[in-house]
A and B are shown apart, each in its own frame.
Chain A
Amino acid sequence: MVLNTAVLPPQAPASIAPAARRRGRSRGTAPGEPRLVAYLYLVPALLMVVVFVLLPVLHTVYLSLVKWDGVTAATFVGLGNYVDILTDPQLRALFLHSLELVFFFAVLPISLGLLITALLSRRAVRGMTFYRSILFLPQVVSMVVIAVAWQWIYAQDGVANQLLGLIGLDRGIAWLGDFTWALPAIGIVGAWLSTGLCMVLFLSGVQKIDTSLYEAARLDGANAWQEFRHITLPGLRAEIAVALTLTVVGALKSFDVVYLLTKGGPGTSTAVPGYEIFARAFGRGEAGSAASLAVVLTVIIFVVSIAISRFSKEPEV
């Protein structure tokens, strides 16, 4: 997910655009000069986006209105697929799983990132370039490779149990096959992917906060928590919004990590909407209902990104 989505480039948030627009407005003009030549610069790229992104999306919307197995003739069913989605209690469970993943993919990494940032005394850290390179490494390698590595880690005789054994907690659980632990186990892979990203983001963000703010706070006798609460946190608002959008959207869209690690199992305990879409479209020949689920998921992702952008607008985090 996040940067590493084997399928897609990272979900850079649409929510950020309004921020830029606000800024433009506050200066009274949009950036740049009025120039119609701009269209010429956009044409080639726009053509590609229309043909290879927008048309397939419109096509998906059309498919969501039919019943189609992918090979025989389709039947038009109107909003029937959507009604099915709304009345299917099992689908609700999938969205709840996504919600749990949001905690692991977003809340945990951002909290950890902030914790590290808070520990940092705003001095240059020797070897920071090295740390950053390592922390960022999970984003560089293919999800296929990562999945293989984590499958071994979670095996009954894998590294996870080996480490737990060091503190006497190895119960011989095969993590990906346990109804209670499989979803958190997938979540931890997501947290592992995005923690480095969040840290790199926050650590560089904090370097840009005006030092004099801290000096002033110290003169006023502020303690470490107050410094963090009143200077660091507000100063990182933009980075937090970015991290939040990336990771939350990543959690909602998650597909490959589930596809490669558990295929939704055991039972359906790790099934998420992204995986269900794929399973319906490719496994069961339900292209229409898969498309309607995709439309619903896209709408949810849009709403969430907009909500996050609204949130990041508030003066207090």
Chain B
Amino acid sequence: MTSPAAAAAPRLTTGGRPTAIPKSRPATPRERLSSLTTHIALIVFSVIAFLPFFSMFLVSLYPADQPAVGIALPRELNFGNYARAWDVTNFATLMTSSAIVALVVVPLGTILCILTGYAFGAMRFPGRNLLFFTFLFGLLMPFEATIVPLYYDLRAFGLVNTYAGLILPETALFLSFGTFWMRAHFLSTPRALVEAARIDGANSWQTLWRVLLPSAWPAITTMMVLFFIWSWNEFLLALVLMTDKSVQTAPAGLGLFIGEHTKDSSGLAAAAVLMSIPCLIVYVVLQRHFIRGVTSGSVKG
């Protein structure tokens, strides 16, 4: 997500891939020591980043009478927690709702952001800056307050408790970021590419899809992964706008579990693990592209 920013404030020093590091020269002792320190530090921070998840995973396997106390191995493995969590929260329904929302939000948001990013990044037109700021607005405002008017506005459109009622505002919020991100990408595209296409007689639409898009995939993949994660984890909008059980999404369902079954810590942990699985799968499968995209994807200065 950061790369949008990094891209928008582009670095002029180098271009593209990390500068090749000379491998021929043997490492000096100072460098070896430093490399060791780096590894130790990275390992320490990785452990810290991972610890809460690890402890939660352990708890999700506890037998019913083992309290969630500190880090401790399960006395015996109890996979029944997962079955219980699945049943109690009616997870199949929750997951279906979440999936429906995410599977519309991600492509819809992606297509719209490609279009806006292209317009802002590769074209010049009056009111460009004002419009761009309009798009950025959603990134800065604290959302806790606008949700009250949003609820009434959506109700006026008859959208409360419908999938559209969650999908549309969610997409609109993500557009702020996505526009920002894709604009940064298209800004960094060599101008010559666009001009060449134009000389070949391509119109703007053809230029976008045939010439620019193929090289934009890393940036798009990253954005899609982020959209998926955000959509899947969205809590407050889902809580307020989807009050009907049949359309509730997974985080709201976990909220119900927290409210009702806090003393069932192993069941709660299992529910938490279950609801994280889709995001983890997407993240793990795409993480190579994703992390590269986040860190350098569109930083092409």
Contacts and interface: CB of A to CB of B under 8 A. Distances in A.
Given A32-B123, A277-B145, A290-B145, A48 B172 contact: yes
A238 B10 contact: yes
A100 to B, nearest CB: 18
Contacts of A274: 142, 144
Given A16-B8, A59-B153, A48 B122 contact: no
Interface in A8-33: 8-14, 16-17, 19-21, 23, 29-33
Interface in A118-143: 119-125, 127, 129, 131-143
Interface string B26-50: 0100110011011101100110111
A6 B251 contact: yes
A17 B138 contact: no
B35 A9 contact: no
B218 interface: no
A162 to B, nearest CB: 4
Contacts of A293: 145
A52 B144 CA distance: 14
Contacts of B71: 159, 162
Contact of A48 (B11, B175, B255): B175
Contact of A201 (B2, B136, B146): B2
Interface string A252-295: 11011000000000000000011101100110000100110111
Interface string A150-171: 1011010111011000000000
B143 A7 contact: yes
Contacts of A127: 39
A232 interface: no
B174 interface: yes
A287 B112 contact: no
Given A6-B235, A42-B116, A162-B71, A210 B14 contact: yes
Interface in B209-244: 226, 229-230, 232-237
Contacts of A187: none
A199 B291 CA distance: 12
Contact of B38 (A31, A54, A120, A146): A120
B140 A302 contact: yes
A235 B148 contact: no
Given A56-B146, A116-B38, A3 B125 contact: no
A7 B280 CA distance: 19
A225 interface: no
Given A35-B124, A49-B172, A133-B291, A11 B153 contact: no
A36 interface: yes
Given A9-B174, A301-B142, A34 B150 contact: no
A253 B288 CA distance: 31
Nearest to B4: A12
B21 A141 contact: no
Nearest to A135: B49
A291 B141 CA distance: 12
Contact of B2 (A6, A9, A243, A291): A243
B132 A17 contact: yes
Nearest to A39: B125
A73 interface: no
Main SS class of interface, B:
helix
Contact of A238 (B9, B122, B125): B9
B139 A10 contact: yes
A185 interface: no
Contact of B148 (A11, A239, A273, A290): A290
A139 B283 CA distance: 10
Contact of A7 (B41, B236, B276, B291): B236
A256 B143 CA distance: 11
Residue among A137, A138, A210, A241 facing the most chain B CB atoms (10 A cut-off): A137
B101 interface: no
Contact of B18 (A3, A131, A150, A207): A207
Nearest to B180: A12
Contacts of A60: 145-146, 148-149
Nearest to A136: B291
B153 A148 contact: no
Contacts of A77: none
Interface stretch (A83-91, A174-182, A189-197): A189-197
A304 to B, nearest CB: 10
B251 A144 contact: yes
Contact of A159 (B51, B116, B133, B230): B51
Interface in B249-295: 251, 254-255, 258, 265, 268-269, 272, 275-276, 279-280, 283-284, 287-288, 291, 294-295
Interface of A: 3-14, 16-17, 19-21, 23, 29-39, 41-42, 44-46, 48-57, 59-60, 62-63, 70, 112, 115-116, 119-125, 127, 129, 131-146, 148-150, 152-153, 155, 157-159, 161-162, 192, 195-197, 199-201, 203-205, 207-211, 235, 238-239, 241-243, 245-246, 249, 252-253, 255-256, 273-275, 277-278, 281-282, 287, 290-291, 293-295, 297-298, 301-302, 305, 312
3 cross-chain pairs, A with B, having the tightest CB-CB distances, nearest first: A294-B145, A59-B149, A204-B295
15 contacts: A9-B1, A9-B226, A17-B132, A20-B10, A41-B115, A132-B295, A136-B287, A137-B50, A142-B233, A144-B275, A145-B254, A148-B268, A149-B52, A149-B272, A246-B1
Given A57-B141, A235-B13, A238-B6, 14 more contacts: A9-B138, A12-B176, A20-B8, A44-B112, A48-B171, A52-B150, A57-B137, A135-B46, A137-B283, A140-B279, A141-B276, A159-B70, A196-B49, A281-B144
